[in-house]
Structure 1
Amino acid sequence: MSTTAKELTMKHRIVVLGAGYAGAITAGRLAKRLHRDDVEITLVNADADFVERVRMHQLATGQELRNRPLRTIFEGTGVHVRRARVTAVDAERKTVAVTDERGGATLDYDTLVYALGSAVADFGVPGVAEYAHNVAGKHAALRVRDRLAELGTGARVLVVGGGLTAIEAATEIAEARPDLTVAMVARGGVGDWLDEKAQRHLRTAFDRFGITLHEGVAVTAVQADGVTTGAGGHLPAEMTIWTAGFAVHPIAAATTLEVSESGQIVVDGTMRSVSHPDVYAVGDAARAIAIGGKALRMGCATASPMAWQGADALAARLTGRPVPEAPIGYRSQCISLGRRDAVVQEVTPEDEPKTKVVTGRMGARIKELICTGAAWSVRHPTLMAPSRRRRIVVTAAAPAPAAG
């Protein structure tokens, strides 16, 4: 057998790190786009289940969420699910170090898709790790649920932050536990980026739930009994929930990959690393430019289109087809206010608010449809029939499958 023929018999190894919205959709879409005789797709994730991160405030208040095992989701797709924690990436040797209950192991790849997402950011504020809760992941949300169950009537819950996560967490808790005293503290304004109509509806909802707002107040430290503010004041609380922002995992920054100041992998319009063409990054872990020239913000709203873009570009390069590339823009921002109310703010492709806003029960129904659709898209990343999967070809635009 000639060297070329031998190379063509080897499968191209694609390793996807992280099975959040971005990673899971990418893996599933690649499995639909590529022929399983040509590729070996491994999806690495620390949790055995797909976690609907947009519903963590619901889980935190005691609501039961649908169990979505990754092995069930990808059964029959050809995607191999590897439950393990990623500890390091060597972009020069093209290896990934992982650890699981059996110990450490090394995975080799021909193409890497980095989708490790983000975690809560403490911004160097003392006491956050020791005393504050968060809703950035399943286990953190379950700890919030357990702590809320311990709180008696009149206990004070303080949510730090004024963004989407903060608003959803505060209103969900206030609705589920009207016997608690809920407050929010934010460095800036709460929801002040929204249209005036949306802001008015937010204020009405906060008043209805009895949520106290402390706006324009910086938190400089967290203690067991509350927080210290920039002016030297103290806001008391039996429970503090930190929702002031997210940061990416530090693994990428420890590699030779080009990363931004935030530690995100810098990618081009096809989600391909600008420094390493055999690496793609999607979701919160990537710094991609949106319509209007700004970096895409972290969130489920951007994770899905980034996954579609990255998977389609990679599949096209491997199969010798034209590489699709279209700038990603925005359509709306959706904020749940408990289970029966929401704000759906229509925005421009550049993420600027428009005057069209849907609120109340209709807004809640729209938000629920969007959340349900996001989870559905993980199991159905594309409607392309399996018979239309493309074979890998060896061209100047598509590297040959690895020989080992």
Structure 2
Amino acid sequence: MTRSSRSADSWPAQRSVVIIGAGYAGIMAANRLRSSLTEKEAEQIRIAIINPTGLFVERIRLHQVAAGTSPTAALPLSDVLHSDVELLEGSAVHIDPESQVITAGTATGERTLHYDFLIYSVGSLASSTVPGASTHAHTIADADGALRVRAAIRNARPGKRIIIVGGGYTSIEAASEIAEQHPDAVITLLCGGELAESMTPRARTSIRKSLERLGIVVRSGVRVTSVTQQGVTTDSGEQIVGDICIWAASFAVPRLAEASGLPVDTFGRLKVDACLRAWGYPNIVGAGDATVLPGAVGSHLRMGCATALPMGGFAARTVLAQLRGIEPEPASIGYALQCLSLGRLDSFIQVVGPDDSPRNLWARGRTGAWIKEAICRMTVSGLQKERIRPGAYKAPKGPRVSEAPDVSAPTGTH
């Protein structure tokens, strides 16, 4: 199913660029690449994107959907994607890097696409190896999961007991939003470590107070070892009873790269060089959560749209350079803020350095909420502007190599 009369595997073109995944990184890569082409180049270069649906999901708003604040976090891809980029609705199931062919499953059967350049931007998903979590806990890492949480909350009895597992941004934002929209709910937030541990102690204290004002019980240093229909069991043997369990403690990536024989790390992320080219396959370029850069230049990067958007832009730049026979420049990705919503009327905005380290400057309350909402809107408007003006979306440059901290495991801050 495409938005063009030309089929996805018969469009005559001298060069073909295929993008897997229409999330923040994939859409940014598609739009910046297409808008950067000259008129002559556009006639010779085909750009196609593979995505399971014709929708773009604002993952940073999924907690609002789960709480019932917003009806949806999805937009038609036509609202954000360049009209000349062809859409194939389906899921990539295998990449053959030697023959440069992608196999995708679609509603009408299996399809194959040849590529000259591939942008790998498959994103991330919720994950847990804790017994019972996949059966008895909900997640809000995708649109369907958020809708299931919303339905479970609406169908639960008054005074429903909700357990949210995780101490990161996803769990905090979900707990806040749900508490605000469902004041009758009894919400317990279980953090395996510190609450919002990437922030300063002062910020954590402020965030905890905001959560407690909403009636949320916050417990740090509590690790869940199993999930049942009746609640959870902790590492101390304690059983916490709950009607609904929401799992937001960890993220993983699809295993497409690993299953296709591409170089990956222990988490299944595609290994790339400083220019985002896959090890051994320079015509495969990675972007987003499922990509890992060399530690010297990328160890400070965290999962989230603040990383995926600039990575998508650099991926487009790398592909464009190679199409033109030019050596690409290394990516440089940094940060300016960490943004955490605490309901519709409260938020905590932490100013950070390019390496994501907290600085002694922040905003909170209604001012913070206004900033957070403005940033959320900018993620969409930035993608839309890239359709006609490459580089319209601006992001901070990364730290000097010597300043990058050593972080080896992927963490989620969606």
Cα displacement (A) at 1:291 = 7.1
Question: Do structure 1's residue 59 and structure 2's residue 65 form an aligned pair?
Answer: yes
Q: 2:232 aligns with which of 227, 231, 241?
A: 227
1:275 shift after superposition: 1.9
1:261 pairs with 2:263: no
The one-letter code sitting in structure 1 at the alignment partner of 2:78 is: R
Percent identity, aligned pairs only? Answer: 37
Structure 1 residues 250 and 349, CA gap change in structure 2 (3 angstroms): same
SS at match of 1:340: coil
**1:5-26 CA-partner distances (Å, limit 9, x unpaired):** xxxx942111100000000110
TM-score, with normalisation over the residues of structure 1? 0.89
Aligned-partner Cα distance in 1 for 2:197–2:121: 30
User: Is the 8 Å Cα contact of residues 276 and 315 (structure 2) preserved in structure 1?
Assistant: yes
Residues 31, 82 of structure 2: 8 Å contact kept = no
Q: Tell me the SS of whatever aligns to 1:133.
A: coil
2:332 is matched with 327
> Aligned residue for 1:372?
377
Aligned-partner SS, 1:29: helix
Paired letter, 1:26: A
Are 1:162 and 2:177 an aligned pair?
no
Per-residue displacement from partner, 1:331-379 (whole Å, max 9, x unpaired)?
1110000001101111111111111111011111111111111111222
Matched, 1:130 2:135: yes
**Matched residues in 2 for 1:30 and 1:45: separation?**
18
Distance (whole Å) between structure 2 residues aligned to residue 359 and residue 236 of structure 1: 33
- TM-score, reference length from structure 2: 0.87
Aligned counterpart for 2:35 among listed residues 26, 32, 52: 32
Whole-angstrom distance in 2 between the partners of 1:307 and 1:271 = 10
What runs of 5+ residues in structure 1 fail to find an aligned partner?
1-8, 386-404
Q: Which residue, 206, 211, 224 being the options, matches 1:206?
A: 211
Give the partner amino acid of 2:52.
A
Deviates more, 1:297-306 or 1:196-205: 196-205
Q: 1:143 aligns with which of 115, 126, 148?
A: 148
Match 2:306 to one of 301, 306, 326: 301
Q: Is 1:215 matched with 2:253?
A: no
CA change 1:177–1:131 in 2 (3 A) is same
Q: Equivalent of 2:105, from 99, 102, 109?
A: 99
SS in 1 for 2:149: helix
Match of 2:195 in 1: 190
In structure 2, do the counterparts of structure 1 residues 81 and 293 end up closer, same or farther at CA, with 3 Å as the change threshold? closer
Detail structure 1 runs of 4+ shifted over 6 Å in the superposition.
Answer: none
- The corresponding residue for 1:20 is 23
- Counterpart residue type for residue 119 of structure 1: L
Matched residue type, 1:219: V
Equivalent residue number for residue 6 of structure 1? none
For the 8 Å contact 1:289–1:295, the answer to whether it is kept is no
Aligned with 1:277: secondary structure?
strand
Q: State the SS of the aligned residue for 2:282.
A: coil
Distance 1:313 1:219, change over 3 A: same
2:118 is aligned, of 109, 112, 117, to 112
Name stretches of at least 5 consecutive residues in structure 2 with no aligned partner: 1-11, 391-414
Aligned equivalent of 1:252: 257
Aligned length: 376
Aligned to 1:87: 93
What is the CA distance between 1:103 and its match in structure 2? 1.1
- In the alignment, the residues of structure 2 paired with residue 315 and residue 376 of structure 1 have an alpha-carbon distance, to the nearest angstrom, of 23
Distance 2:56 2:253 in 1: 19
Q: Distance in 1 between matches of 2:53 and 2:388?
A: 27
Q: Is the 8 A contact 1:290 1:328 kept in 2?
A: no
In 1, the alpha carbon distance for the partners of 2:331 and 2:232 equals: 45
**1:69 alignment counterpart:** 76
Deviations 1:116-144 (A, max 9, x none): 1111010x111111000010000110101
CA drift at 1:192: 2.7
Task: Return the offset for 1:383.
Answer: 5.2
Of the structure 1 ranges 325-334 and 279-288, higher mean CA displacement relative to structure 2 is found in 325-334
Alignment of 1:381 with 2:386, yes or no, is yes
| Contact 1:291–1:328 (CA under 8 A) maintained in structure 2 | no
| Structure 1 pair 33–257 and aligned structure 2 pair: CA distance change class (3 A) | same
How far apart, CA to CA, are the structure 2 residues paired with 1:320 and 1:104? Answer: 33
